[in-house]
Amino acid sequence: MAPEESNVFSPGFLSLIKSPFLNPYQYDTNNKLSGFLSDADDYLDEVLGTTASLANPLYIFENGEARNKNYFENSLINLAIRPAYSINSRLSIKGHFSYTLVNTNENYYIPMTGVPKIVIPNVGLAENMVQSLYSSQISLFADLRMLWQKQSGANNTRIIAGGRYMNDDYSGNTQMGYDTGNDKTPNINSNLNFKKVDGAEDVWRSLSYYANLDYNYAEKYYLHAGLSMETSSRFGREVQGGIKLGGVSWGLFPSVAAAWVLSSEDWFSLAAVDYLKFNLAYDISGNDDIDYYAARTYFGSSVFMNRVTGLSIQNIGNTSIQWESTHRGGAGLEASLFKERVGIQLNAFLARTDNLLTLKKLNSVTGLDYNWSNEGSLNNRGFDLALNFKLLNRKDFNWEMGFSMGHYQNQITALPDNESFTTSIYGAEILSEIGRPAGLFYGYESQGVYANSETAAADGLYLLSKTGSKVYFGAGDVKFIDQDNNKEINADDKVVIGDPNPDLYGNIFTNINYRRFSLNVILNYSLGNDAYNYQRSQLESGSKFYNQSLAMLNRWTNEDQQTTIPRISYKDEMGNSRFSDRWIEDASYLRLKTVRLSYNLPLSTTYLNGLTLWASANNLMTLTRYLGSDPEFSSGNSVLCQGIDRGMLAFGPSVVLGIKFNL
């Protein structure tokens, strides 16, 4: 067991992996539970010669609760104005100006009592840890536009032109240190060991100008044309593409669209169709969500040998870094049928993203692994469909039901140097390869567990030890698929073992109105998406002194036993718990997301036009075969984090009551 495994401080995860025969409270001399909390369990340290102790999760709560220990404070101020002025009946000016201030003050503390010594890799051990963060973020937004519109007979024209400015200024400071001496005064001071100070000053500015033209004839034929030009402080000085203006690079983003309402034509005579509209659209959009200093080479403070502070290179800037460009074309229809009893919306799209932001591998002599580049490309296509049915429409009773479904399929078409690579996240390997979708799980395929030694010997599969000797798989080991048929199980046998992208997703809803009562029900679903259950990989690994799930009762224990769970093996020398399809699950689900009941009170006064009393119940029920706590999860915003369940607490059922004042 690696010493770093003692650095587990999440009370939720600790409650799962702590041995079930341990108690958070001490026993007294009469062998009865006392009111004193137990210390960290170090019963394995002497036997194994490690620091494999695990903290008492209750002690972390007790000794970590205080304003100067574990504390989070967030304050928000937002001021906004929306001025408007009409010059004449056709011409007007509108604006939107806002100021937002967000201050964050956070303290994080790992106590001394009830917690094992903290392992600092390549440094040593510490008794406890204290960390603080203070950050301030100021955001300015300004949008000023001029609107001109004219109606002449059946001709309707509207033109909008304006400019938009955004400024985001973030500053943050962090301090961290070890060994405060006790749990009563966990303050950051100059006497702390291994003290580290860090911070950030990030400023981002964006400026854009835009113009849009919208025209329709008799609300039958619609045309749209638009153009925007945008620049950002995140772009490099040597951008390829766009235009140069005022010493900076600007991206140009046009859009066009057209629509035709067939049902408004004189010759249209389908009695069952009340409304039918077709539309086509094409646009180019940009994305400047780039690291603040990706275009710049800079140095940062580093502590060497925990004694000397100096500077080391932190980034090699890419002076040609620029926006991502997504070319998107779409077609769709909107229809209303059978006296507006059935509504249909269908849209399909094709998209191509060029200059996709990717991490490019650097030469080892730079001292860094990667820097940002625009050498990626991605294709995407899909559709979404929505159907709405008005089942009943009476004076005092209305019932409406509908559903939506969506599908998308993406494909990577370019990567830096045309090389495939994998990204490791919580032990999973995520594949990025030209010709494949983004976010695929890449690991070992398995085919059950060897029931006996004879079967294992007949296959003759082995792996190479650190000394280069062959170690053969035996009874109770996982039977991994030897993809290249050379008998050796190694990295060459990895294949795609899962896809987190769903085949279909959407929601189902129904609305019922009876007199003054309203009932709204929403279900959402996802079909065909795979998930990596990281928490289960820890609780069923059979390789550590962690408490395990009940599934481990079915582990292999004797010859000829038929099971899908391998034998337990401390340190797992055969790699039975490695990242493989054992930990990939079908995360399809159907969830009763929201049930909302409301009642309108018929009140009417000078200042009040009624009251609405409502109650909403959320996350009531989920149907799924997924073994994790919640199939509707996300470990991060990146596409690479999709489908990775790191064991965060699920959103449980909740009930919210409210009153709405209708003024």
pLDDT tens by residue, 31-55? 888 888 888 887 666 555 555 678 8
Nearest to 429, CA basis, from 420, 439, 441, 412: 441
Q: Residue 575 is encoded by which pair of tokens?
A: 């790699």
DSSP state of 319: T
- Asked, for residue 196, whether it belongs to a domain, the answer is no
Phi and psi, residue 451, nearest 5°: -80, -30
Residue with the two structure tokens 């077709």: 278
Residue 43: predicted pLDDT: 66
Last residue of a domain, one of 557, 576, 595: 576
Burial class (CB in 10 A: 0-12, 13-18, 19+), 490: middle
Last residue of a domain, one of 11, 27, 62: 62
- Asked, for residue 58, whether it belongs to a domain, the answer is yes
Angle CA 496–474–569, to nearest 5: 80
Residue 306: predicted pLDDT: 61
- Asked, for residue 119, whether it belongs to a domain, the answer is no
CB–CB of 324/290 below 8 Å? no
Nearest to 352, CA basis, from 430, 412, 434, 407: 412
The backbone region for 528, taken as left when phi is positive above 0, alpha when psi lies in -120 to 50, beta otherwise, is: left
- For residue 325, count other CB atoms closer than 10 A to its CB: 21
pLDDT in tens, 331-360: 999 999 999 999 999 999 999 999 999 988
Give the range of the structural domain holding residue 41, as residue numbers without chain letter: 1-62
- Asked, for residue 354, whether it belongs to a domain, the answer is no
The backbone region for 241, taken as left when phi is positive above 0, alpha when psi lies in -120 to 50, beta otherwise, is: left
- Asked, for residue 561, whether it belongs to a domain, the answer is yes
Tell me the C-alpha to C-alpha distance, in Å, between residue 647 and each of 12, 130, 384, 472: 9, 25, 31, 33
* Cα–Cα distance measured from residue 334 to residue 497, given in angstroms and rounded to the nearest whole number: 39
Low-confidence ranges of the chain (pLDDT < 70): 1-6, 43-52, 303-307
Contacts of 621 (CB under 8 A, 6+ apart): 591, 592
- Asked, for residue 39, whether it belongs to a domain, the answer is yes
Which three-class secondary structure state does DSSP give residue 231?
strand
- How far does CA 95 lie from the centroid of its chain? 33
The type of residue at 331 is A
- Asked, for residue 474, whether it belongs to a domain, the answer is yes
The total of structural domains in the chain comes to 2
Query: How many CA within 13 A on the CB side of residue 444?
Result: 22
Last residue of a domain, one of 11, 38, 62: 62
Q: Residue 15 is encoded by which pair of tokens?
A: 């409650």
* Cα–Cα distance measured from residue 207 to residue 481, given in angstroms and rounded to the nearest whole number: 55
CB–CB of 583/537 below 8 Å? yes
- Asked, for residue 531, whether it belongs to a domain, the answer is no
Contacts of 325 (CB under 8 A, 6+ apart): 241, 251, 253, 284, 285, 286, 353, 354, 355
Residue 279: predicted pLDDT: 98
Residue 3: predicted pLDDT: 37
